Chain A
Amino acid sequence: MTVKEFDRPYPADRSVLGDRGARSLLPVQALHSAGEALFALSLVGSLFFNVSVDAARPRILFYLVLTMAPFAVLAPLIGPVIDRLRGGHRAVLLLSLGLRAVVALLLASQLKTLLLYPEAFVIVVAAKVYVVGRNSLVPSLVGDRDHLVVVNSRLARTGAASGVVAVLLGLAVLRVADASWLLRVGAMFYALGAISALRIPGDQIETKTPPIVESTEMHGPGIQSATIGMAGLRMATGFVIFHVGFALKTSGQPAWIVAGIAATGAVGGFAGTFVAPWLHRRWHEQQVLTASLILPAVLAALAALRFHSSTAIALAASLGLAGSIGRRAFDSVIQTEAPHARRGRAYAGLETRLEIAWVIGSLVAVLARLPNWLGLAILTASLGALSLNRIFAAAAAARVGTVAGATTLPLRLMATAETLAARGDRQQAMLVALSAAEAAAVVGTVAPERLVELQQRSRDAVFGDDPSDAKAVLRLAHNLVAESSERTAR
């Protein structure tokens, strides 16, 4: 792979329809999103608004912790089994949608009972399992690796559009019937989604990629940085759902405001699918991800200064928009920097961590039960700190000739070498560092005698036991790569 390949633009959306597997996922995604939108809307008519938050908190906490358990405990055990099964991920999608259809029907008659909590959390967990399963499945359905980001974008747009339509449908249903009918209609969508999932071709997660390659790619600085950013965004979403939900309840806002928030969140997500490509044409994907953290931070600050239904709606819309934009940026980073891991099980692990981040954000909101302004101020500070950290990190990286997320092959190899060294893999670290310097010699300018010196020292250090030799090799390789990058940039 040449350096040029990393900068190649992604193909246009039109090629997506050529992937039969990806095409079969579109109706499933649309029905999943429609079901989710109606489920969220149905909570307007649930027990949540009738009982005191303080009384319900232990129960909500309990089920939130349970929500985390399948991802933290079961996923590492069952995930590899599903990966090995042909059609395993299709089965996950089918089961998730089927289970939600059944539970939504049960919940329809139990919205005002204590069964709300376990049943709602089953739906939440099943939806998260669907997201992890879908994102693990997509790479195996796409013939050309370069199509992945486009397919994900298309899926996001389909899901967001379907969510907006479902919210409008739900609001119409609420005018003539109660919230239980939203769940009945939602159950129908879930069931149709499960049936549609049968049309997805049987997949098998790629296991040919050696685990060390997956691991090395996934531990690259760009991936780490993007994952932290995306996890921050997911955490913020989880936090806002519960914090703002409690705030609206305790400030006596009418239930339609909650419906409005669900609707604007969906509209924000839909708008994001159009804004994201526009941003990607102008900015680096890591910059887009940073921008998607700044936007909700600003809106959270406004809501903290003056909490009102309008600021709450604006915050929800900004999170929907940021989530959509951030997701595309995140996918781009993964596609660029971890093309092998993207098709392997390491990626499923990453998705799982993002879902856990959502749950942690929710737990913080429920557990801390902060005053409204304080919670939103902390959210602003957290997102702001994360954004600033990314900005400073990018600026620091730029000073040595790159941006966070290393755009050239030598820099990426060097970053990988440093990650390996930090993990104690000295021999691999030195060999990768040597490759980085050799790559820099190919694409840039490295004094031949210094490269020979590095090669000699690497040979000695690889077969020696002295850690200081390894450090010296890494330092020398780092300097060569950085100097070469600076010269190339000039």
Chain B
Amino acid sequence: MALRLRICAPCVIAVFALASVLIGCGSDSEVQDTDRDVAIYRSIIADVAGHSDLEPNDSEDLPLLFIEAFGADGIGLEVQVEVVASFIEQYEIRFIDDREEAIEIDLPGLPVRPNSLFLGLGPIVLDRTAEVRSERYLSTDAISAYRYSLAGRGASWSIVGAPEEIEPEGFVSAS
């Protein structure tokens, strides 16, 4: 028994430690990609929320900002966590799995919940600039969509020009 303990316990602890390290850390390039994605999404969210009628910091409860990720790959957990953290003083950001979380399903027109914003964000298309589809949902008949272009490097990305209005796609299935 003592021998088993001497052999097995260090092995188990080593596996734990290794697994924890593996799950906790990413490579340098992965970290850079995360920082880039966070910067891009943060710029877009700040722009949309800034043009909305949400009133940050005026009440005890922060305004809610629901975000749905368009596309098969979604938005990675690390990116979600960083985005949440970057708005922690202004908005309560919630990445959702189900639209029911963001809309009033019992009301006609399925409007968004009070004092909240419902955004859809597409995947980041990288070329010389970054392009991202963003849609804002108010109700089934009030959906707007824009294509954002962003320029930058590393962790600093900013919107280039006015966003281009496009046809909504991501939220169409909610109508």
Contact = CB atoms under 8 A, between A and B. Distances in A.
A250 B101 contact: yes
Given A50-B84, A69-B16, A118-B24, A55 B95 contact: yes
B121 to A, nearest CB: 12
Contacts of A12: none
Given A47-B84, A54-B74, A252-B113, A77 B97 contact: no
Nearest to B67: A52
Contacts of B92: 50
Given A69-B12, A250-B97, A51 B77 contact: yes
Interface in A17-38: none
Interface in A146-194: none
B85 interface: yes
A112 B85 contact: yes
Nearest to B13: A74
A51 B19 contact: no
Given A55-B95, A59-B77, A251 B100 contact: yes
B95 A50 contact: yes
A114 interface: yes
A487 B12 CA distance: 57
A249 interface: yes
Interface string A69-89: 100011001101100000000
Contact of B12 (A47, A56, A73, A114): A73
Nearest to B75: A55
A216 B113 CA distance: 61
Contacts of B12: 69, 73-74
A53 interface: yes
B93 interface: yes
B93 A53 contact: no
Contacts of B94: 49-50
Contact of A51 (B1, B23, B81, B88): B81
A62 interface: yes
Given A49-B94, A252-B100, A118 B9 contact: no
A126 to B, nearest CB: 14
A112 B9 contact: no
B97 A78 contact: no
Interface in B4-34: 4-5, 8-9, 12, 16, 19-20, 23-24
A81 B69 CA distance: 51
B8 to A, nearest CB: 6
Interface in B28-50: none
Contact of A52 (B1, B16, B96): B96
A55 B85 contact: no
Interface in A65-122: 66, 69, 73-74, 77-78, 80-81, 112-114, 118
A55 B74 contact: yes
A55 B19 contact: no
Interface string B74-92: 1111101100110010001
B98 interface: yes
A51 B103 CA distance: 17
A28 B50 CA distance: 51
Nearest to B77: A55
Given A69-B16, A78-B9, A114-B81, A250 B98 contact: yes
A112 B5 contact: no
A103 to B, nearest CB: 14
B102 interface: yes
Nearest to B15: A69
B139 to A, nearest CB: 16
B81 A113 contact: yes
A479 to B, nearest CB: 43
Contacts of B77: 51, 55-56, 59, 114
Nearest to A62: B23
Contacts of A112: 81, 84-85, 88
Interface in A241-283: 249-252
Contact of B80 (A55, A77, A118): A55
Nearest to B22: A62
Given A50-B92, A77-B4, A112-B85, A250 B100 contact: yes
Contacts of B84: 47, 50-51, 112
Contacts of A78: 5, 9
User: Which residue, A52, A78, A249, has most C-beta atoms of chain B within 10 A?
Assistant: A52
Residue of B76, B81, B113 with highest tally of chain A CB at under 10 A: B81
A252 B101 contact: yes
Contact of A53 (B5, B97, B113): B97
Contacts of B9: 74, 77-78
B102 A252 contact: yes
Contacts of A249: 97, 101
Interface in B47-74: 69, 74
Contact of A80 (B1, B19, B97, B100): B1
9 contacts: A50-B80, A51-B95, A52-B96, A54-B74, A59-B77, A114-B81, A118-B24, A252-B101, A252-B102
Interface of A: 47, 49-56, 59, 62, 66, 69, 73-74, 77-78, 80-81, 112-114, 118, 249-252
Given A50-B81, A53-B97, A62-B23, 13 more contacts: A55-B77, A55-B80, A59-B23, A69-B12, A80-B1, A112-B84, A114-B81, A118-B20, A250-B96, A250-B98, A250-B101, A252-B101, A252-B113
Top 5 A-B pairs, shortest CB-CB distance: A252-B101, A250-B98, A52-B95, A55-B77, A51-B80
